[in-house]
Amino acid sequence: MSQKSTKRALAASALSLAVSLALLAGTTFAWFTDSVTNTGNVIQAGNLSIDALAYDLDAAGDKTYTIEGVNGGQPITFAAGAQDLKKDTSAIIDETLWEPGKSSAKLLEVVNGGSLAAKIQLEFTLEDGGLMDALWFDFVQIKNGAAVGRFTPRDMRTINDVADTMDDTVLLPEESLQFVLVYGMYEEAGNEYMGKDFAANVTIRAAQAAVEQDGFGSSEYDLQADYYAEVSTTEEFAEKVENLQPNEALRLTDDIDFGTQNIPMSQSGTTNIDLNGKTLTADSVTVTDGENLNIQDGGLELAAQAVTNSSISTEKGGRVLLNGVDYKTTGTAVYAAGDGAVVDIIDSVIECAGYCVTTNASTTENHNPVFNIRNSTLTSTDVGTAVLVNVPCQLNMTNCTVNGTMHGVVVRGGTAVLENCTLTLTQEDDSVLHYFDNRDWGTGNEINLAALTLGNKGGGNYQYYPTNCTLINTKLISVGPYPTLYAYGNTGEGLGVTLTYDAASVVGEIIKGNDAVTVIGPGE
């Protein structure tokens, strides 16, 4: 790259020359020191993986391009070999003794090495030591072996704005994106930049693109894939989550432990956390009206001062998704209350001292949450009831294994549909077998023990609504003296229990506590 004008300007004064040569002495002009982001994605039907390569200027190289306005219009050539940014995280630009008028270039290549289409995004984190305003840059894309577009020097402060225009470039498997990063210092940069420095890190992100089709010919399922910002400490997590956008996610690169602090949430209302096989430890988290908390692919350990205290609370209008999460808590795993409160649990394992999933019947404001649970295992150890819903609600469970020492599932109100599930009561001690023969039920799970218990016996807020439960190819198991299914219905028109099961279900012994229980199934 030409430096003739710089040399002419500096030759007039020895002092100016000395100052100019010292501008960046002992400092670093560093780019691309972050690792390549997003080598995998749980929302995928294949493998999402990108690679990033950087090529230095080298007259003996084999990649030559002519870019109008760069190097006086003469060709520039890059080396045959590249720095693999996944394996070599050292800065691709490390300039010292940087002078006004000096410029250089790097050829950067992003390769889709996975089996899924990927959207590409660049995000720069700038660290200005006083030199930024003296620097310029431009991106020039390479297509079919030639430069595309005209070179335009741009202020370094605008680099993220320009990078945004490159967002969502879609690369099919084995395709690549190439561009030349041209950078330099303005010739008119003065002595005020002496001893100053500048650094920039870039994250190259990939998201699954809406190209692959699902079994119904739709590509829309890919739209939930998104970009990731990597975090490895509580400080990084708290800093980056604050302004996290709904189409962005945090990705853990190490275990993170918040101790007795709650999980920080994004101000945008949507917090996406990719555990990336790591474990996130904290006290608890509350999802309020209009907020979304999505956690996937790793370990989650939350604490609680009591087994009935909720580690994840979902209030009216809030939504929680646990996808591929191994979740342990000393309290109750997930609590939901109110209209629009939705809990989705997919491909997860929950082991807790309290309830795995529950509601609260203290007020009508808690009515109508929705639970969707599939391909998951839920186990309650101390409280002994894995699933307890006791308000009008919708409980949908598919392909689930449920274990409890007092109950597998309790439905004291609302509508439940269990398909391809196995519910196991492990209690063998018969000391409370007849405890409720002449007693009303208490609150919560102070009720007859069974693998599945339905309805309500006695007063309380539970008496004002019915219970409906449907079993499809579902198996109920009690290893001790307790029945597999116990039901007691509220009296009053439309307030009883209705149980429906198919021929594929193994329900075992059904105990109907009163006449307010209707059972619909083979042989009934």
62-118, pLDDT tens digit by residue? 999 998 888 888 999 999 999 887 787 777 777 767 788 888 899 989 888 877 777
Task: Write out the two tokens for 371.
Answer: 């639970």
pTM: predicted TM-score of the whole model, two decimal places: 0.63
Calpha distance 334→295 (Å, rounded): 13
Confidence of residue 209 (pLDDT cuts 50, 70, 90): low
Task: Enter the DSSP assignment of 264.
Answer: P
Q: Is the pLDDT of residue 30 over 50?
A: no
Task: Enter the DSSP assignment of 460.
Answer: S
**CA proximity to 311, closest of 272, 365, 263:** 263
pLDDT digits (tens, 9 = 90+) for 265-316: 999 999 999 999 999 999 999 999 999 999 999 999 999 888 889 999 999 9
Confidence of residue 6 (pLDDT cuts 50, 70, 90): very low
Q: Is the pLDDT of residue 224 over 60?
A: no
3-state SS, 169-182, equals EEECCCCEEEEEEE
pLDDT digits (tens, 9 = 90+) for 316-334: 999 999 999 999 999 999 9
Task: Write out the two tokens for 111.
Answer: 């390769």
Question: Coil, strand or helix: which one is 417?
Answer: strand
Q: What one-letter code names the amino acid at 92?
A: I
For 94-117, give the DSSP string: ---S--TT-EEEEEEEEEE-SSS-
Task: Write out the two tokens for 140.
Answer: 């020039």
Number of continuous H segments (helices) and E segments (strands) in the chain: 4, 40
